[in-house]
Amino acid sequence: MNKLLFDFFPIVLFFIAYKTYDLFVATAVVIAATFVQVGYNWFRHRKVETMQWVTLGLMVVMGGATLYLQDEQFIKWKLTIIEWLFGIVILGSHFIGKKTIIEKMMGGNIELPNKIWSILNFVWALFFISVGCINIYVMFNYDTETWVEFKTFGVPALMSVFILLQVIFMYRFMPDTESESKE
């Protein structure tokens, strides 16, 4: 639970800074918070996940462009780029190695048939790519306030619903441990 809260730390600070000041202050705050998050992980665990480095890099580049050019479109595009990168990497894992990324991440805890792992991997990739597309729709059809609320609350809500649906889907294919233990 603490890790989940810490993962949302930059987003929460971004939202608070946006509501208190404006998008440019919020952008500076989220860049600093992302540095703190990565730094904390490095000093605490001596390890930073690849996607955290990618997120930090994109945050610095897109957030920096937002601040330097005083153009909010750059920070808005960062969400789409991150989501599409996740989707492409997950999709690419179908073709590299013996296991997909989703199976590597969850396979130690859950036993599922190979075909189901492949389906889950494809659906996760499709989800991330779709969220990136939805972000483009929101950023071009709504005001900045709506976009900030979508980024802060809409994306996590979509993720929560998606994860719940995945759990329901996976449950149907998990081995029945009760009947196996009776035998």
Left (φ > 0), alpha (ψ -120 to 50) or beta: where does 46 sit?
left
Q: Do 76 and 62 share a domain, yes or no? A: no
- Rounded distance, CA 127 to CA 163, Å? 10
What single string gives the DSSP state of each residue in 6-20?
A: HHHHHHHHHHHHHHH
pLDDT in the model for residue 121: 92
Same domain, 15 and 83: no
Q: What's the confidence (pLDDT) of residue 103?
A: 84
Are residues 111 and 29 located together in one domain of the fold? no
* pLDDT in the model for residue 91: 94
- The rounded radius of gyration (Å) of the Cα atoms in the chain is 19
Query: pTM of the predicted model, to two decimals?
Result: 0.84
| Cβ atoms of residues 111 and 171 within 8 Å | no
| Same domain (yes/no): 52, 93 | no
Which residue among 70, 99, 118 closes a domain?
A: 70
pLDDT of residue 54: 87
What pLDDT is stored for residue 104 in this prediction?
86
What is the model's pLDDT at position 2?
56
CA distance 112 to 151: 33
Q: Are residues 64 and 144 in the same domain?
A: no
* Residue 35: inside a domain: yes
Q: Are residues 104 and 116 in the same domain?
A: yes
Instruction: Specify the number of domains making up the chain.
Output: 2
Q: List, as one string, the DSSP characters of 106-135.
A: HTTT----HHHHHHHHHHHHHHHHHHHHHH
Q: Measure Cα distances from 153 to 12, 42, 142, 167 in Å.
A: 10, 28, 15, 21
pLDDT of res. 170 = 83
47 and 94 together in one domain: no
For residue 90, the enclosing domain spans 72-174
What number of other Cβ atoms are within 10 A of residue 69's Cβ?
Answer: 10
- The CA-atom distances, in angstroms, between 152 and each of 19, 24, 126, 138 are 12, 16, 21, 13
Mean pLDDT, consecutive 10-residue stretches, the chain (183 aa), reads 67 94 96 93 87 89 95 95 94 87 82 87 96 98 97 94 91 66 49
With respect to residue 179, please indicate whether it lies within any of the assigned structural domains: no
- Please check whether residue 166 is in contact with residue 123, taking contact to mean a CB–CB distance below 8 angstroms: yes
Q: Are residues 110 and 61 in the same domain?
A: no
What is the C-alpha to C-alpha distance for residues 83 and 126, in angstroms, rounded to an integer? Answer: 10
- End residue of a domain, out of 70, 91, 106: 70
Q: How far, in Å, CA of 124 to CA of 122, rounded? A: 5
